Amino acid sequence: MISWRRLDETDFPLLRQWLRQPHVARWWHHETSPEAVARDFGPAARGEEPSEDLLMLLDGEPFGLVQRYRFADYAEDLRELAHQAEIPQEAMSVDYLIGDPQRIGQGLGTRMIQEVVRATWTDHPDATTVLVPVHVGNRASWRILEKAGLRRVADVSLEPDNPIDDRAHYLYRIDRPEL
């Protein structure tokens, strides 16, 4: 059973371990010092930032993280993408990782995205769309999105998370189901 709760500051040591894992570090390229993790994840954990950092649980045990947010709350990201693709006003997005290396390759990424997208329609009644940009080189990530029911709608040029990458990204989309 997959469930989640808001990430809190007591989870930061686990998050630091995950961010150091080679399969995560390659695509997240994040500083892992205690200060950096507190700086970058603390505001959301304390409710001072509009994103939702969700600690993903499998049968109660942490295995991953999903950051869910409205594009409109992050003007720089919205600006970079808006001239390349249609971004509905209430569009949401997610960033995600499976931190536990023993949990990759088991279909949990697909299930995690399906569950969070499904919950988004309830948790955010104004949300009409979930859009997810993913680097073209991150095949495992964009395959998760495809298996979760998102469809590729554009090739876009975005600042990469890791400076070794070029700007080539795919944009994936899923719309709120009709009633």
Contacts (Cβ under 8 Å, ≥6 apart) of 30? 19, 36, 37, 40
Find how far residue 66's CA is from the centre of its chain. 5
User: What DSSP string describes 147-173?
Assistant: HTT-EEEEEEE---SSTTS-SEEEEEE
61-103 per-position pLDDT tens digit: 999 999 999 999 998 989 999 999 999 989 999 999 999 999 9
Contacts (Cβ under 8 Å, ≥6 apart) of 105? none
pTM reported for the whole predicted model: 0.95
Assign 110 a pLDDT band (cuts: 50, 70, 90): very high
Query: 3-class DSSP state for residue 58?
Result: strand
12-70 per-position pLDDT tens digit: 999 999 999 999 999 999 999 999 999 999 999 999 999 999 999 999 999 999 999 99
User: What DSSP string describes 124-147?
Assistant: -TT--EEEEEEETT-HHHHHHHHH
Burial class (CB in 10 A: 0-12, 13-18, 19+), 120: buried
